[in-house]
Amino acid sequence: MFNSILVICTGNICRSPLGERYLRAMLPNMRVDSAGTGALVGHAADESAAKIALINGLNLDGHQGRQLTATVARDDDLILAMEKSHIEYVSRIAPEARGKTMLFGHWLSQKEIPDPYRKSEEAFVSVYSLIEQAGKYWAEKLGS
């Protein structure tokens, strides 16, 4: 039984906040947080990420970048990573958490979700679309 999910990316200001807020909306009875492997600690969500979130009915207000640590990795029942390199990072810092770490794009044929940071608005639209598609699958699998 899963009660908590941690969504991870690199900086914790684009992809993981989008994934976190999307899953929070889809799974209201679950605790969903996010963190980054090289987080911009204390930073608000990226402006382009916040904009694409609003267009899609989500709000990234109040988000603050947070570093993924071994303690943070141990806290949640499931860790969803945007890239394979993030899974490797979890394996290095918290080997015991490796077994509960999967790609966010797991149900999309193990697809990695590319980093849109400092890229075009189209890149953010594309990334959001992947997060939404993958998030729907996770919500279906984990929803009660």
Catalytic residues: 9, 15, 115
**Partner residues linked to 32 by β-bridges:** 5
Give CB contacts under 8 A, 24+ apart, made by 69-76: 69/35, 69/93, 70/94, 70/97, 72/6, 72/35, 73/6, 73/97, 73/101, 75/4, 75/6, 76/4, 76/5, 76/6, 76/31, 76/33, 76/100
Report the sign of the C-alpha dihedral through residues 39, 42, 46, 6, in that order: positive
